[in-house]
Amino acid sequence: MKAFLILEDGHVFEGTSIGATDEIISEIVFNTSMTGYLEVLTDPSYAGQAVCMTYPLIGNYGVCLEDMEADKPWQSGFIVREIAKKPSNFRSEQSINQFLINNNITGIEGVDTRALTKILRNQGTMKGMITTNSSYDLEDCLKRIKAWEMGHVVLDVTCKEKKVYPGDGYKVAVIDLGVKRNIIKSLLKRGCQVTVYPAETPAEEIIADAPDGIMLTNGPGDPKDCKVTIKEVKKLFDTDIPIFAICLGHQLLALANGGDTVKMKYGHRGANHPVKDLKTGKVYISTQNHGYMVKEESLDRKVAEVSFINVNDGTVEGVHYLGKNAQTVQFHPEACAGPLDTDFLFDVFMNMMEVSK
| pLDDT value of position 336 | 78
Q: What is the pLDDT of residue 338?
A: 83
The pLDDT score that the predictor gives to residue 337 is 74
The pLDDT, as a whole number, for residue 339 is 87
pLDDT per position in the chain (357 positions), as tens?
A: 999 999 999 999 999 999 999 999 999 999 999 999 999 999 999 999 999 999 999 999 999 999 999 999 999 999 999 999 999 999 999 999 999 999 999 999 999 999 999 999 999 999 999 999 999 999 999 999 999 999 999 999 999 999 999 999 999 999 999 999 999 999 999 999 999 999 999 999 999 999 999 999 999 999 999 999 999 999 999 999 999 999 999 999 999 999 999 999 999 999 999 999 999 999 999 999 999 999 999 999 999 999 999 999 999 999 999 999 999 999 999 987 788 899 999 999 999 999 987
What digits encode the pLDDT tens for the residues 21-44?
Answer: 999 999 999 999 999 999 999 999
Instruction: Provide the 3-class DSSP secondary structure of residue 253.
Output: helix
Q: CA nearest 97: which of 80, 111, 85, 79?
A: 85
CA-to-CA dists, residue 345 to 271, 331, 335, angstroms = 17, 11, 12
**Residue 94 has what DSSP assignment?**
B
| pTM assigned to the model | 0.97
Q: Is 247 a catalytic site residue?
A: yes
Distance of alpha carbon 113 from alpha carbon 53, whole angstroms: 7
Could you give the CA distance from residue 241 to residue 164 in angstroms, rounded to a whole number?
19
The answer to whether the CB of 157 falls within 8 A of the CB of 43 is: no
Binding residues: 45, 219, 221, 248, 251, 289, 291-292
- Which one from 192, 247, 273, 290 is the annotated catalytic residue? 247
Q: Give the closest residue to 110 by CA, choosing from 3, 10, 22.
A: 3
How far is the C-alpha of 274 from the C-alpha of 132, rounded, in Å? 39
Helices (H), 215-343: 227-237, 248-256
Q: Is 202 helix (H, G, I), strand (E, B) or coil?
A: coil
For residue 120, give every residue at least 6 positions away whose Cβ sits within 8 Å of its Cβ, in sequence order, or none.
28, 29, 30, 52, 126, 266
What pLDDT score does 88 carry? 95
- Catalytically annotated residue among 8, 27, 334, 336: 334
Active site residue 332: yes
Q: Which domains are seen in the chain, by residue range?
A: 2-147 (3.50.30.20), 154-356 (3.40.50.880)
Which pLDDT score is estimated for 186? 97
336 labelled catalytic: no
